[in-house]
Amino acid sequence: MAKLYFHYATMNAGKTTMLLQASHNYRERGMHTMLFVAGHYRKASDRGYISSRIGLEADAEMFREGDDLFDRIAEHHRSRTTHCVFVDESQFLLEEQVWQLARVTDRLDIPVMCYGLRTDFQGSLFTGSRALLALADELREVRTICRCGRKATMVVRITPDGKVAREGDQVAIGKEAYVSLCRKHWEEEMGRVRAEDFIGFAAR
């Protein structure tokens, strides 16, 4: 039985590299894969592709709000048997689109591997991630670490002038950078708590 997978992490954890490697493993065995990437922040005329920081790249179809992913995959599958579907930037899926992907696994028996961010820079779930956490058969955390060595589960947005953004749109299109942190250091960087206020609370 095919399954719907959600591989989630913070920024810079190597999710895209994992996706491209997994797709390559299918193709190496002569199987066909279909790749999707979010088209929300790309021009309609742009070529769709997925690229990772270590230089791997593959062509991909773009998904946008309003696309019925079940229909698109089913139509493609009719002309060319598809063995696995990969979705990068799956945090941008709508809830309905996650249901469409669930139907791809349930009705077409094709595994669907989604990769994406769990939370935004303010610590809230993305729409697609919320639905995937609810509906996926398998949840897999892609681990990366904070500067302190703890697991990084949160991300801060650094503005072009080097400050930590505390407000703003969920997605910024510009020269922002992102840093992955553990929850403790994220709260400090976001200005929600001050480390010095907790001195003396720990048991000796």
Residues annotated catalytic, as ranges = 89
In the bound state with Zn ion, the residue whose beta carbon lies nearer, of 131 and 146, is 146
User: Among 148, 177, 193, 195, which residue sits at the site for Zn ion (rule: CB under 5 A)?
Assistant: 148
Count Cα neighbours of 184 within 13 Å in the Cβ-side half-sphere. 10
Strands 84-87 and 33-38: parallel
In the bound state with Zn ion, the residue whose beta carbon lies nearer, of 77 and 151, is 151
Q: Cβ–Cβ contacts within 10 Å for residue 158, how many?
A: 16
Q: Is 171 annotated as a binding residue?
A: yes
Question: Shortest gap between Cβ of 57 and Zn ion (angstroms)?
Answer: 32
Give me 188's structure tokens: 């400090």
Count Cα neighbours of 121 within 13 Å in the Cβ-side half-sphere. 20
Site mask, Zn ion, residues 83-122, x = CB under 5 A?
Answer: ----------------------------------------
Task: Tell me the C-alpha to C-alpha distance, in Å, between residue 50 and each of 22, 37, 150.
Answer: 13, 7, 29
Give me 68's structure tokens: 């019925």
Give me 203's structure tokens: 């048991």
Residues binding Zn ion: what is the number (CB under 5 A)? Answer: 5
Question: Shortest gap between Cβ of 6 and Zn ion (angstroms)?
Answer: 24
Give me 57's structure tokens: 């790249």
User: Among 9, 19, 131, 146, which residue sits at the site for Zn ion (rule: CB under 5 A)?
Assistant: 146
Q: How many residues does the chain have?
A: 204
Task: Tell me the C-alpha to C-alpha distance, in Å, between residue 18 and each of 24, 82, 93, 188.
Answer: 10, 19, 19, 31
Question: Shortest gap between Cβ of 182 and Zn ion (angstroms)?
Answer: 3
Is residue 182 involved in binding Zn ion (CB under 5 A)? Answer: yes
Residue of 102, 75, 77 lying closest to 87 (CA atoms) = 102
Q: Is 202 annotated as a binding residue?
A: no
Is residue 155 involved in binding Zn ion (CB under 5 A)? Answer: no
Phi, psi of 124 (to 5 degrees): -100, 150
Window of 43-51, 66-74, 126-134, 143-151 that interacts with Zn ion by CB under 5 A = 143-151
Q: Is 148 annotated as a binding residue?
A: yes
Window of 34-42, 54-62, 107-115, 140-148 that interacts with Zn ion by CB under 5 A = 140-148
In the bound state with Zn ion, the residue whose beta carbon lies nearer, of 67 and 188, is 188
What is the C-alpha separation between 106 and 89, in angstroms, rounded?
A: 22
Contacting positions for Zn ion (CB under 5 A): 146, 148, 150, 182, 185
Binding positions for substrate are 171-174, 178
